[in-house]
Structure 1
């Protein structure tokens, strides 16, 4: 099977909820009102609760409490609401595809940590619409769950990475493609915005794409997440490319601050998503 075939099989068992397509359609319709968006979201009490939890979390850090969907839309915008819905969908999808073939705790923490670091570094790099980069960081390794569900023996082989053979290099050797490619193919089937898909698809080849900041930021974030999850195997000095940091005007202090922030806040986001996972 290739990356697209894995994504197609995954889509056959877990499709993107209709609400996401409806919100996307409203975003593309200039005549849409805030009430239109609120009506779509409020139909699902679980999603409403989760969106309010997320909009009041450390991801956004607004000074006042956001207590209604309408206020959330007014303050953070429809694009952010759509991205938050994707986070909610991610938690549901993680639950759907979870299994014992891989270290699930490691997968979760790496995903959430990567999302938080991506958002933080995007701010430093002067990138707008940072919420979509949180989503990209969160979902960049989603393909691992898909492969683990469909081909558990292969996923187990891909866990045997080390300092000499990085995870995505081992995935290429075992599967012929990386988990990020599976993630990108599934998100394309789900009709997610290309601005989310592009950095996921290309971040492991960041040196070949010189002009896209999103790709470079996700590249750095994925390396920081790997070090955070396996400090006994990987180090910052060996994992981080100084040239990319210079191009983005990201200093060593910026990297440390982003990693420290993610370390502290991962538990908060993890608990919100965990409620969805085990609820």
Structure 2
């Protein structure tokens, strides 16, 4: 799997992803930036249980609705290297599923899959539907569960040829990103080490699709108002041209900014304190 060194032209990253279905960029985060993000995620991971099935990982912790729980990932979600890559591949996009993933020791390899399979759209009928950005907060190695991808599989008509031995591990130092298409066959690796492997995946989808996580509920308006405007739009407070996603005939970004309108909603009934 080809590795590019940051800083790098986003067009070069997009071209590599288009060619192979994936690309790694090293050095996107400094060691200090990695440490800052990790320290913010540690308490969230401490209160998160492991998965309930083999796909989620019975020894893997996944923090969902993470943008409602910490501001540490805001800059990653709208990183200036990432957004132009998304523009090149998806044109209009929404953040679909931001998830913190800590693969624990002893975890088995995840089943190979395509993330675009969530959508009942024939393969290739509408171009690429999903782009993932995996942020490595640990060194990703062959031993500790590095994401495994089959380069070139984004051109396959189906998964009939997908075999674990064809996968390539996204080996990369912490602070790197792996960008891969939702049409690329991949899966989390087995963790045969003695320590968890921590990463953050930011999954983006074409803006005309429903995001996997309902982020306008997961990140309620009082929290969403704290976000940079670009991130507000990425989680759904925006319109896909010409008007898909409007609210009461308006761009939802306007309503989010209109705190007076938000505060003038229905008053609680007499005797109702609003506490439930």
Sort the TM-score into its range (normalised by shorter chain).
Answer: under 0.3
**TM value normalised by structure 1:** 0.28
**TM value normalised by structure 2:** 0.28
Rg larger in structure: 2
Query: Which one has the bigger helix percentage?
Result: 1
